[in-house]
Structure 1
C-alpha cells in the first residue's frame, strides 16, 4: 500500500493536465458501463456512478452521473476493507459489495471494485456502482414493507468475484440463481466489470506517463484545492444555526402517521455541520436511510450544488473528495437517517431528497441569491413486473420526473430530475418494444396552477402506464401531504398523487398512497403518477406581465388566476393568440392588490 504523497508540489500546467485526465477516465468508465449494460435503469436512465480512489479511499475523480452513486463509493470501500484488508488484494482481483450497513448506499446499488497496482504497489482502486433491476427481494424490483434488511434480497459483503483474474463461479451462479431477471443482472455486472477494468488500465497508463509520485501528489493538490474552494464559499455565510422542518407521509405501512424531518445547519468559519437530530425514529419498514452510504452523501451533495455549481463559478473545481471534507453530518443512531441493524433500508431516496430541500430552506435567509423555493424533493420510483407465459419474470424500473421551485433569476424547471436524482427518462419506444406495458399519457401536469411568484415554480409531470397482462407494482414515493413551500413572498407548489383505474372503466379511479409494495394489477389497469410541483420565488406582483401571458398561452394558468394572483389583466384580441396584456389595467390591478395586503 502506498503512503500519502510527499510535500513536493506539481506545477500548474501538469496539474491541470492530470486533472483533465482523471475526469476523462471517470467519464470513460461511466460511458462503458451504461453503453454495455442490459437493463434500462442503467442503459437509459444511467442510474450509476464510476471513479478512481486512492488507498485512503479518497475520491480522486467521478463520472458526471447520479450524485448518490459516486459520493457513496468511499463508504463502500471502507466497508469492503473490513472483509478484504489491504494485504489481501492481488492484481486481477474484483470485489462485489452492496451491504447497507457496511457503507453501501442501499442494497440494489451493487459496487464492483478492482485494485490498481503500479510497480508492485497497491496505489488505489477503480470502482463503480449501478442500480440493479432485481436482487431477489421480497417483491420484484423494489421493496418497502418488509421486516428487516435480510428481506431486501442478496447481501454481498465485500466478497471477491474474481481472484487474480479467475472468476468465482460458485458466487457467479449464486447471484444468477437469486434474481428474477438473471440475463439483465448478469449482463449489467459484466458491464460493471468492463468499466472497472478500463479504470484500472487507464489509471495505470496515467501513472506510467507522469510517474507515481507526480500523479499522487497532483491528486492531493487537487483535493486540497476543491476543499479550499468550498471552504471559501462556506466562510461567506454568516456563522450561526439555521433550521428547517418538514415531514414525510408515512413509512409505507402505518398510514396516517407522518414522519418528522428536522434539519439544523451550523456554520462556523469555513466549516459546516448538518444535524438531523429531531427527525423520526427508525421505522419498521424499509423506509430508512443507510447513514454512511446515503445520509452523508446527500449532505455533501447539497453544499457542492449550492456553493460550487459549475455554471455559477468562474473557476473549474474538480469533483473529488475535497468537497466532502468541510461538511460534518450528524444523525443519532436509531433514527430514520441512521438506523440500527437489522432494520431494512432499501427505500431511502425520498428522505434524502427532503434533507437536501430542507438544507436549502434553512439557508435561504442568508443565501437568497443561491437557493430555490420548495422543490418536489421526492422520488417516483416504480417497479412494474409480471410473469411471461414461459414462466420467466419481466421487471421494469422507472424513475419519473418532477419539478423544481422558482429560482432567484428564473422560473423553476418543469418536469425534470431535480436535486439528487440526475437520471434520464426511459424512451417510451424502448418500453413498448420489450415489455407488456403501454404509456397512455406522458405530459406536463395541468390540474393545478404552478407555484406563483416573481419566478414561478416548475410544473410537475403526469405519466400513465397501462398493463397489457396481469402483473405487480411497487411504488416508492412521497409528498402527497407536505406542500413544497413558496419563498420570499412566493406561493406554495402542489403535492403529488397516484391513481389506478382500468381502461375498461375509466370513471372508477382509485387513489393510492405514495408508497406501496407488491400491488396486484390486472390487464388494462392504468397507473397514473402525478408529481408535486415547485413553489414560487418572490412576490407574484413583481412577475413580468409578458411571462404571465406566456404561461396563459401555454395553458399553465387561467385568465382568472392571472387577474387574482398576479394582478395581470388581459384583453381579448384576434391576433392568432387570443390575448394581450392591458398595461394600464394591470398597473391599477396590482396597486389594488398591494393595497389590500
Structure 2
C-alpha cells in the first residue's frame, strides 16, 4: 500500500525554488480546506475538538499535503482512496464526491467518514481532495460510541465507493437514507456538507495551481517533494544502530471479559535506512468492537509516532509532510490478531490499542534514540459519548475527548493535558457543553500530584466531572486502569486512569474502563480521571527550586516533594540543609535505579 517513486517523472529536472513554492501552496490548500470545515461544521466534535482531516493526494492516493489537525484522521486518507478505487475503478468524474467509511477498506473506524473528490485536469485524473470527520452518529447499536457489539454490521451505516454527489448532482436518495438511519441527522448532514465544501475548495485550488505552473511542473514537484521527505526519513533511520528492539504491555480487557487482560507486543527492526514494526505477538482479535483496523488505525498510528521520533520539527525544520516519510517503513500484523482482525469483527473502539503500540515503539527505541523519545505517556484516549432524549423525544448526542499527557523528556517536563500521539484533538469547552447539552461540568482541571517524579517530571492528565440534568446514558472507550505509564532512567511511573460514578455520594461506584450504553439518572454524575505520565531521570537530581515551584503551583504536594524528590519545604521556602540530608537518606537505601519503572 505504500507509494514508490515515479521514475518516469524524476528523469526530468525541476528547480528547487519552484518545488518549494508548489509545496507551500499545497500545504496552504490543505489548511484552507480544514478551515472551511471548522467554520461550517455543526457538531462540537468537529467545530471545537477539530476531530477532522483534510488534504491533497495524487492519483494513486499518495499524500501530497495535509492540514494541521488530527493525524489519525489524516493518515488514513490514502487508504480510504485506495479502498474506493478498488470498488469503483474508473467510474470517477469531475464533480463526484465519493464516500468511504469501511474499516476493512481503509477507514479508521466507521464513524470517521471520508469524502473525496477526484480532481481532473484537461480530462485527466490528476489527484484527489479529501476530507474526513468523526460524525456524532452512524446508527448502530449505541448512540455516539460503542464497545460491546458482535460484528461490524452492528456499527451502523457503512458504505464504500458510493457517490454522495454524482457528476456534481446531489444524490438525494443517499441523503434520505442517511437522514433515516442516524440519530442526529441535522448535525450529521450539516457536517457532511462541510466536508463537501472542503473537497470542492481543495479541487478548485489544485486546478488553479496547475493553471499557474502547468500540469507537468506540478506533478514533477509532487514527486520531488515526496522523494525529498523519503531521503530525510531514511537518513534519520540510518542513525539508529541496526538491531531488533522490543517492548510489551497490556490492555485492561475487551469490554466484555473483564478478567482477561490483552497483551500488546511491539518488535522494531532496523536494518540500514529501513525500519519494520511487527505487532504479531499481540492478542488475538476479540469478540467485541475492541479491535483495530490494520490500514486505517494501526498503520496510521505507527506512521505518526515514527514521524514524530525521526522528523521532529524542533530538530529538522520544514520537511514536507507527505507519503515519502512512510516509504522506508514496513508494518506487520498477523491476520486474526487484534490489530488485523478478520471481517466481520467489529473495529469501532480502536484508539487505546494503537496508542499503546505508539507508546511501546517509543519505549523500544528509547535506549538507542534517547534525545528523540520520552518516558511513558498516557497512551490512552478516554473517549466518552453521552446521549439521551429531549422534550421532543429526539436524540441528543455529545462526544468529548479527554486529554492525556506525555512523559518527561530530556531537558523538559512532560506535557500536561495533551492528547497522545496520533490524536491531536482540542478540548470541548465547558461553555459549549452548557449551551447545547442537558449536562453540566462540575470540575475540569489538571489532575494534581499524579505525574511520575523525575529529573523531568511526567505530565498531568485531567479531571473531568460531568453531571446529567436529565436521564441519559454513556459509552466510554477507555483503558489504562491497570497499567501505570512507565518511568525512564530512574524516573517513577505515572498514575493510571479511573472512572467513578457519583463521586460526591455516600456510595461512589468505581466503574470499569469501558462502558457500553451505561444508564445514568437525572442528577447522577461521572468523574473521569485521565492517566498522568512517567518521570524521566533521577528525581533526586531535580533542582530543589523547581520542586518548590511545583509545590507552590499545586502540581506536586509537599508529601510527594519529601517522599519522591527528597525536598523539605517549610512554609514557602526550601530547607536546603534538611533537603541534603533527606536526599542522602534516599540515595543510600534505594539501590540501583532501573532503566524502566512500572
Q: Does 1:552 align with 2:551?
A: yes
Within 5 Å, give how 1:379-390 maps onto structure 2.
Answer: 379-390=381-392
SS of the residue corresponding to residue 443 of structure 2 reads: strand
Q: Does 1:302 align with 2:271?
A: no
Within 5 Å, give how 1:101-140 maps onto structure 2.
Answer: 101-140=104-143
Within 5 Å, give how 1:498-537 maps onto structure 2.
Answer: 498-501=499-502, 506-537=505-536
Q: Match of 1:374?
A: 376
Q: Does 1:168 align with 2:167?
A: no
Q: Where does the alignment leave 5 or more consecutive residues of structure 1 unmatched? A: 573-577
Worse-superposed segment, 315-324 or 256-265: 315-324
Q: Does 1:201 align with 2:201?
A: no
1:502–1:524 Cα contact (<8 Å) kept: no
Instruction: Output one character per residue of 1:364-409: Cα deviation in whole Å (capped at 9) or x when no partner.
Output: 1101111111100110111100001101100000001121111111
CA distance in 1, matches of 2:309, 2:227: 19
CA distance in 2, matches of 1:510, 1:592: 40
CA distance in 2, matches of 1:200, 1:165: 13
1:453–1:537 Cα contact (<8 Å) kept: yes
SS of the residue corresponding to residue 5 of structure 1 reads: helix
Instruction: Output one character per residue of 1:494-535: Cα deviation in whole Å (capped at 9) or x when no partner.
Output: 1010011186xx222111111110111100011110011100
2:503–2:527 Cα contact (<8 Å) kept: no
1:83–1:159 Cα contact (<8 Å) kept: no
Q: Match of 1:492?
A: 493
SS of the residue corresponding to residue 501 of structure 2 reads: strand
SS of the residue corresponding to residue 76 of structure 2 reads: helix
Instruction: Output one character per residue of 1:17-75: Cα deviation in whole Å (capped at 9) or x when no partner.
Output: 10100000000011101210000000000000011111111100000110011110010
SS of the residue corresponding to residue 457 of structure 2 reads: coil
1:35–1:43 Cα contact (<8 Å) kept: yes
1:9–1:218 Cα contact (<8 Å) kept: no
Match of 1:588 among 576, 581, 585: 581
Q: Match of 2:594?
A: none
Q: 1:502 to 1:310 in 2, by over 3 A?
A: closer
1:112–1:127 Cα contact (<8 Å) kept: yes
Q: Does 1:289 align with 2:292?
A: yes
Q: Match of 1:246?
A: 249
Within 5 Å, give how 1:317-328 maps onto structure 2.
Answer: 317-328=319-330
SS of the residue corresponding to residue 265 of structure 2 reads: strand
What displacement does 1:580 show? 1.2
CA distance in 2, matches of 1:221, 1:412: 36
SS of the residue corresponding to residue 313 of structure 2 reads: coil
Instruction: Output one character per residue of 1:205-228: Cα deviation in whole Å (capped at 9) or x when no partner.
Output: 001100010001001000001111
Q: CA RMSD in A?
A: 1.2
What displacement does 1:6 show? 5.0
Q: Does 1:454 align with 2:455?
A: yes
SS of the residue corresponding to residue 372 of structure 2 reads: coil
Q: Does 1:75 align with 2:74?
A: no
CA distance in 2, matches of 1:349, 1:230: 26
SS of the residue corresponding to residue 464 of structure 1 reads: strand
CA distance in 1, matches of 2:503, 2:438: 15
Match of 1:99 among 79, 99, 102: 102
Q: Does 1:88 align with 2:91?
A: yes
Q: Does 1:28 align with 2:32?
A: yes
SS of the residue corresponding to residue 96 of structure 1 reads: strand
CA distance in 1, matches of 2:138, 2:236: 41
Worse-superposed segment, 154-163 or 185-194: 154-163
Give the structure-2-normalised TM-score: 0.96
Q: Match of 1:349?
A: 351
Within 5 Å, give how 1:205-224 maps onto structure 2.
Answer: 205-224=208-227
What displacement does 1:76 show? 0.4
1:100–1:107 Cα contact (<8 Å) kept: yes
CA distance in 1, matches of 2:461, 2:168: 48
Q: Match of 1:340?
A: 342
What displacement does 1:247 show? 0.1
Q: Does 1:259 align with 2:262?
A: yes
CA distance in 1, matches of 2:101, 2:574: 58
What displacement does 1:588 show? 3.1
What displacement does 1:560 show? 3.1
Q: Does 1:7 align with 2:8?
A: no
CA distance in 1, matches of 2:451, 2:294: 34
CA distance in 1, matches of 2:514, 2:422: 19
What displacement does 1:587 show? 2.7
Q: Match of 2:596?
A: none
2:249–2:263 Cα contact (<8 Å) kept: yes
Q: Match of 1:405?
A: 407
Give the structure-1-normalised TM-score: 0.96
CA distance in 2, matches of 1:477, 1:118: 46
What displacement does 1:15 show? 1.0
Within 5 Å, give how 1:29-44 maps onto structure 2.
Answer: 29-44=33-48
SS of the residue corresponding to residue 566 of structure 1 reads: coil
Instruction: Output one character per residue of 1:106-159: Cα deviation in whole Å (capped at 9) or x when no partner.
Output: 100000010101111110111111000000020000011000000000011111
Q: Where does the alignment leave 5 or more consecutive residues of structure 2 unmatched? A: 1-5, 592-598
Q: Match of 1:575?
A: none
What is the aligned residue count? 584
Q: Match of 2:595?
A: none
CA distance in 2, matches of 1:368, 1:412: 15
